[in-house]
Homo-oligomer: A and B are copies of this chain.
Amino acid sequence: MPAARQTRHERTAAEIVDAAWKLAAARGLAGFTLRDMAADVGMRAPSLYSYFGSKASIYDAMFIEGNRALMDRQQEWAASDSPTLHEAAAGFVEFCTENPTRYQLLFQRVIPGWHPSATAYASAVEVYDSMRARLAQLGVREAKHLDLWTALLTGLTDQQISNDPGGNRWSQLVDDAVDMFIAHTQGATS
């Protein structure tokens, strides 16, 4: 099997995961079935088992893909000429709010009975470590400040998604919130 290009099998597996994302966005992460996914890719439910061993393993694939996307996004921000805390914050909140379903999968536990497998969870740890290193470069080094930072951004994100989906009532407050954060922490971190 050539490693360089995607095999047919891998392409089909990716199609199934795409269908899962689409259905999750429409009906919620726990609101679709194997039959639904199969129908979306023109198959019957049992055929999915040629690609995934269980429904949980499909969630795993989505979880890994979501973390991969966040890692990619972070690297885009890092490539900016002079990355700032404001950009990092706006980027994170945008990443989360542009796909609330993905946010729920990555950061909340809303699927009854499902938890990411060990290998899937490792992808989340990788992302967090990368984010921590990046924040350190931008001057946020104290553990408490990092915790306050994550609380501030996830709080804005949660409110935005829960109470104004599709709008910008809370996401528009990101710059203001970062100003507040900087004013509060600069004496201790810079």
Q: Which residues of A contact B (CB under 8 A)?
A: 28, 30-31, 107-110, 112-113, 144, 147-148, 150-156, 158-159, 162, 169-170, 173, 176-177, 179-181, 183-184
- Stoichiometry, copies per complex: 2
A selection of 9 A-B contacts at a CB cut-off of 8 Å is: A108-B110, A108-B162, A112-B112, A155-B156, A155-B158, A158-B158, A176-B184, A180-B180, A180-B181
The answer to whether B176 touches A148, judged by C-beta atoms less than 8 angstroms apart, is: yes
A149 to chain B, nearest CB (A): 10
Given contacts A112-B30, A170-B147, A183-B183, contact A152 B152 (CB under 8 A): yes
CA distance A110 to B176 in the complex (A): 30
CA distance A60 to B145 in the complex (A): 39
CA distance A144 to B152 in the complex (A): 15
CA distance A173 to B162 in the complex (A): 24
Q: Which residues of B contact A180 (CB under 8 A)?
A: 148, 180-181, 183-184
